[in-house]
Structure formats: structure tokens, C-alpha cells
Amino acid sequence: MGFATLSLSTLLLALTVSATPIVIQESSIKLPLARRLNVTSVHNLLRHDVARAKFLRAKAEAKLSGVSNFTPRAVIEEQVDNQAVTYIASVGVGSPATTYQLLVDTGSSNTWVGATASYVRTSTSVQTSNRVSVTYGSGSFSGTEFTDTVTIAPGVLVIPGQSIGVASRSTGFAGTDGIIGIGPVDLTLGTLSPATNTLIPTVTDNAFSKGIISSNLIGISFEPTTSEEILNGEITWGGTDSSKFTGALSFAPLTGTTPASEFWGISQTIRYSTGTSILTENSGIVDTGTTLLLVASDAFSRYRTATGAVPDNNTGLLRITAAQLTNLKSLFFTINGATFEFTANAQLFPRALNTAIGGTASNIYLIVGNLGTPSGEGFDFVNGYAFLERFYSVFDTANKRIGFATTPFTTATTN
């Protein structure tokens, strides 16, 4: 997979936030993303995603309570596998650039390399006096901080002096080279040593501050697929790509409710069909590092009752019969007054990939999982890939909001 491709047109796109028209520049800087299903070992998708969610929540709560020596294993008690479903971007580091395959993560903000391919020093590589370390729900890395040139789109989006981590040790990242972190910058606090109180600007922050992109935002397009690996996603830097969505974008402000407020957090309600409430107005996060759609335990119980689904021990997912599939109704997400329909097909794990996750080929699995904690605690859902593959999303740092729009794949019957 190569670097970002470019289009030549620059347009102005009128969008809607409530009743107020907003103008966002359409960007020509596009980074392709490859969706990859890790089939090197049997995975329990639910266990992986719940472990990540527990970790993110615990880390945020520790930070909010002033705990500086957060120990993840005090909360995350079970070992999890490498990432199961990921989106990978080809990113260049150095001059001349070495290309690394990096996980795209909105739930963290450090960018680092060295998990598989070794870091190659060039004339633009500058080692700092800091060590850097980050722990994730399914892995960790530690190493040395460098500043270097990061290339997203050759000749167009080239970011000099970007802080990167160079791993001397990493776990949980087999088959990838590291992470490009596009979460809120505050998530980098405490990752450097001895400069523990120093924030590390993300690649998006630096591209904006250096005048390389005109807006401090990114647009993300994912698509559902039945392939184990396919180039079918895109990040647009500094604007949006209107060819990837239909209708208008609807924006929601970032939530002020903790601990979701430490991430790309929003508030939403979820209902099943026309009248069954699954989740009342509560806060949670939007996360590209999560495969499933996770909801609070009481919401999950209501969803199970509504669908008649039963747990599947092999995959960790819910399972329904062919007859229940015929009667499966849409979920409706209401986010800042805008309602998004999540169809019955969108609720299915791709049946063509059942055996790749240790399931049975003829079974029908659902992608709604149990977060394991009750609603009302400020971290009541995680909208992961399963949600984002059906809606275009905009992560707007400058205006502290997230936007969603329907796409040609919102009502697809891919799964």
C-alpha cells in the first residue's frame, strides 16, 4: 500500500449543525487505509474490545483523580491477543522516508514506530533526552523520543519536527509497525520521561500549526467488507471528502461528562425499532481501535431481550437464528438531535469471515457487545468500526465536535 493519493479540486461544502450552516473546506490530502483481519491466532473479539474499553476508562479515571503511576494490570486482569480487526495506514518517517504500516487510533495520541520494522535514522532524525512509553488495552511500547519528518502525502503533507516514539520494546502489535495516534492531545500527558508534564502535539495538530492544512480536523471513511484484507478506507486531512458521504453532516459537541470527555466522547441515545429504548441519553466514545459496538450492561440486556440473541462461547459474540434474522429490526442512534439508522445487516458480523474468528460458517453473529458496566457512569458505549463503517465521521479538534453523515454503505447488505 502506498502513500496518500491526491485529487486536484478544492471545494467549499456547506454543512449543517442544528440549524446553523457551517462551511468546511474540502481537502485534497487523502491517506488510504487498509482493513486487516488478524487471522494468525483465534481471537475473542468481545474480550479484546472490552479489555480495551476497561483500560481506556481506568486510565482516564486515574488521570482525573490525579494518579500519576497508573498500573493497568490492577484493572485489566486478563491477557488479550493482538489487535483483531485494524485499519492500517502507510506513513513515511525520515528523509528519505522509510514507510511504516501504522494502526490508526482515535483512542490514543502518540505516534510511534519500531514494533516490527526497525526505525531508520536519516539526516532529519533528532533524538531527544526523553524516554517514551504508552500502555494500551491490548499491548504497550516503550523506547526513545525522536523528532523527525513524517510524510502523509509526499510533497503535500510533510510534517517536519514531529515527535515520534521509537520502540525498543513492544507487545501486542505483531504484523504492524506501530500507531499513528489521532486522539485528543491530552492523552499524551505523562507518556514522556523526564518531561512528564509535556504534551506532545499530534500529527494533525502539527500539520495545522505549521500551516500545512487549513483546518485542525480529519474526515474518516470506512466501508464494510467480507475480505480479510482490503484497501477500503481513507483519512482526509484538514477537510472532508464529499464523495464519501451522502446528505449533510450533523455535528455533536464533545461531551463534558467524565471519563468519556477524555477521548472523542459524545452523548447519544439508542433505540431498537420504533419504540424499544436500549440506551437513554448517556455519554461514551467513538473509537477506531474497537471492532464492535459496545453498550452498558443494562442496555445490552435490553438488546438481547429485543433480538432473542444468545451468547456464543467460541467467539464471545451474540448469536441469532435465521428466523430471528428475518425479524431483526434497525437500531436508531440519536446524536445531538440527528437520528442515524443502523440497519439489521449492519448489526451482523460479516458471515463470510465467521471461521476467521473461530466461529461456525453457518452461524449468524451480532456485533453488539456488553461493556460490562451499568449505564450512567459516563462511559456507557463505544462506537467502534462496526458503527464507523456505516457512517462518515469528522473529528474536529478546533471546534471540539464530531460529525457524522450517511454514506452509500449505510444501508448496504454486505454482511
List residues with catalytic annotation.
105, 287
Q: Which residues lie across from 270 on neighbouring strands?
A: 279, 333
**54-92 burial string, b = 16+ CB within 10 Å, else e?**
bbbbbbbbbbeeeeeebebeebbeeebbbbbbbbbbbbb
Please answer whether residues 141 and 168 qualify as being in contact, where contact means their C-beta atoms are separated by less than 8 angstroms.
Answer: no
Using alpha carbons, select from 82, 114, 96, 395 the residue that is nearest to residue 265: 395
Burial 352-373 (b: 16+ CB within 10 A, else e): ebbebbbbeeebbbbbbbbbeb
Dihedral sign for Cα 306, 312, 313, 314, please. Answer: negative
| Terminal Cα distance for the chain, rounded | 25
- Alpha-carbon gap, residue 318 to 310, rounded angstroms: 5
